[in-house]
Structure 1
Amino acid sequence: MVLKKPVHLKLGQSKIARIAALLMLMSALNGCAVATVVAITAGATMIADRRTFSKQIDDQSIEITAHNDINKQKTLTKNSNIQVISMNGTVLVVGQVANTYLQGIAIKTIQAVPDIVTIHDQLRIGENVSALTKSNDIWLTSRVKSALLANSEINAIDFKVITENSEVFLMGLVTKEEGDIAVEITRNINGVSRVYKAFEYIK
């Protein structure tokens, strides 16, 4: 399936400031200082995202729908650990399933979700990872994000980092050069066993 070229949203600083001010006002009216900070952060992130607003909403809908549909499959909830991540309609599926039969059920369930362009099936056959492994994965994700943020040649916000059992999966709407830089940074971080690219390349 051919991927469509993404449309980039370009907003001036004054427009961004007005949106941020509006989000602050809306949250303040709700009487919650924490909500104000969250709203501003979320708003700024959405504006900086290379996806359109509608695509960001579509991706959230894909993830929620996929997880809900998987949870309806009792055989999957009892014997699997599945995570679904969507970026501009490109879906990454990671985690563990007990056997290939359950893997097939999981992927078939996800394929039925609307608005998906392509699926990267990276489910592993085996037992669910331990709590210790999950903690290590969170730590590795943090290290990768910090390393990407420290590099001046790329914008870390353009990348989504997912770690599962020490394998790091990189997603995003990026140029080939940006993707290569991110992969090189990630593969040299101690503890990362493998780097998998699930990018959508743009010019």
Structure 2
Amino acid sequence: MSQQLQRVCSFMIVSVITIANSGCFPVVATGMFATAVAVTDRRTPGIILEDETIELKSIQRISAEFSKSSVSVSVTSVNRIALITGWVPNEGVSKKISALVADIENVRDVFNEVNIGPVTTTKTFAKDAILTTKVKASLIDEKNLNGNVIKVKTENGVVFLLGLVTKREADLAADIASRIDGTRRVVKVFDYITEEELTNLQSRLKKTE
């Protein structure tokens, strides 16, 4: 890992530990990478807006249906593929949440990866946030991969990878994530493109720089 990324990673880990010790749960743990992602995102501006809308509407619908004390879930949308993670009390609630998200306009597919059981502890949340930071930093540091185009979400040690990537990029990213200490399992929720499509996307992005 490069020295710059080591410094960023160390700072973010300290921040997460501080927040965890205070008992507060931050919304995201990868905000420092937002600028880089915005510049290199392979999605069109229209799709990015649709993804943000899907995430917002999902949480609004779930919050309207269930109390915060009964469920703790988040929805991550990339290229209109929605990943649901978190904790719910039973299978019935899990299915209901899937239906709520699937019914949102422009959602192409739903991956429900929620855990059945009590809401995660502050300690587990902190570990997941730190693991997400380490995985993201390692992906960005890999010279044969554009780690900025891959979203990372971690839940109870399970690392979810999302983004528009080729099969080659997906396999490399999954291998990197699997070798990070603390990773229990890696789940690929990618939207696959061909190498030719990747070349065309890179050309389009260069023209917008």
Asked if Structure 1 and Structure 2 have the same fold, meaning a TM-score greater than 0.5 normalized by the shorter chain, the answer is: yes
Aligned counterpart in structure 2 of residue 58 of structure 1, from 44, 50, 54: 50
Deviation, structure 1 residue 111:
1.3
Match of 1:21?
none
Matches within 5 A, 1:37-116: 45-74=37-66, 76-116=67-107
Match of 2:179?
188
Query: What is the CA RMSD across the aligned residues, in angstroms?
Result: 1.4
Aligned residues: 162
After superposition, the C-alpha distances for 1:99-130 in whole angstroms (9 at most, x for unaligned) are 01111111111111111000111111111110
Aligned counterpart in structure 2 of residue 161 of structure 1, from 152, 155, 158: 152
* More RCO (CA 8 Å, sep 6+): 2
Within 2, Cα distance between the matches of 1:86 and 1:42? 15
1:126 aligns with 2:99: no
Equivalent residue of 2:153, what SS? Answer: strand
**Structure 2: where are the runs of 5+ without partners?**
1-32, 195-209
Match of 1:148?
139
Quick one: percent identity of the two aligned structures? 32
Within 2, Cα distance between the matches of 1:197 and 1:129? 22
After superposition, the C-alpha distances for 1:17-39 in whole angstroms (9 at most, x for unaligned) are xxxxxxxxxxxxxxxxxxxxxxx
Equivalent residue of 1:191, what SS? Answer: coil
Scaled by the length of structure 1, the TM-score of the pair is 0.77
Scaled by the length of structure 2, the TM-score of the pair is 0.74
After superposition, the C-alpha distances for 1:55-110 in whole angstroms (9 at most, x for unaligned) are 00000000000001100013x53311111000000110111111011111111111
**Structure 1: where are the runs of 5+ without partners?**
1-40
Within 2, Cα distance between the matches of 1:93 and 1:104? 11
